[in-house]
Structure 1
């Protein structure tokens, strides 16, 4: 059973760098709208949100602090006293105080969405589950890129996303859609 009154929303890496024109194609044109709907529902219900931002330490990375790609996407900047956890690796739990923050909030569930499904979202969910958190993935508020298949071809982004959602749901998390979460929040 999921008690969403004790769920913390965790937007991961909703940053401008994912829009760089040199990136491969993505599949979800609704990722921003869906993520903003989740934020609006959590804010309206006055439930906790902990934002995660990737601050790269790699020279030349668009995700380095001060670079345009490090900025939050429009509408995803933390508001009021919403905390921001910054990381320099894939997992939002490594080198941060995320676990402590969740414990202090008395969280039972961690609702995750963001960029990109197969990298930071997946790694955070896997690690959170291994640490004992009840992780909930919102796949329609995630996105990822098409990637080379290692044999000269390309795996479409939507297939990469689907495979990662299936793997995560099989062992590491529950899966809930934006509509299910926002309808519940409206009724709360």
Structure 2
């Protein structure tokens, strides 16, 4: 199914593309290199279209986290560090809507009602931001191949990264929180939707 056009009131939200996610403690990611390449493609497409790119950084409060403030892993990957974002949002929880500055207020002030999400982790900060965005009334699009995550265990169960990505897709699309699509479809919809 083709993704409907993305209007000029669309912002790209790049979530937690940080070097700390290369730390072996996370386990094996699902195609981190592919995620990074797709995120860069989305950034290039949005910048070329003159659409805002929001960059989100996770500043962990946990003293042993690779993403903690002032740790080397808190830094962005090089391709993200080179971006001049419309705004940088910092957070210490899963949702980009609970960071600083207030993402919702920033979007509303600019009349932006559609958000495209990409980044790390699919089933954590990306999914939480998508769910909250849907609840707040935004049209939410997730470019699933521009996200990645890591294996997870809990409640006596375990799942690999690929399974968690598929589950997030089902949760978001099946639950009506977001349109789940690909980088290529998102870029095509962005191009078609210019000045719509």
What TM-score do you get using the length of structure 1 for normalisation? 0.92
Partner of 1:30: 34
Query: Is the 8 Å Cα contact of residues 12 and 121 (structure 1) preserved in structure 2?
Result: yes
Equivalent residue runs for 1:23-172 within 5 Å? 23-28=26-31, 29-77=33-81, 79-80=83-84, 82-96=86-100, 97-148=102-153, 150-151=155-156, 154-170=158-174, 171-172=176-177
**Tell me, which stretches of 5 or more residues in structure 2 are unaligned?**
none
What is the CA-CA distance between 1:176 and the residue it aligns to? 2.3
Query: What SS does the corresponding residue of 2:147 show, helix, strand or coil?
Result: strand
What is the CA-CA distance between 1:162 and the residue it aligns to? 0.1
Partner of 1:11: 14
Number of aligned residue pairs: 187
CA RMSD in angstroms comes to 1.8
Superposed CA deviations along residues 49-103 of structure 1, whole A, max 9, x for unmatched, are 1111001122222212210110001211263352100001111111431001111
What is the CA-CA distance between 1:178 and the residue it aligns to? 0.5
1:20 aligns with 2:23: yes
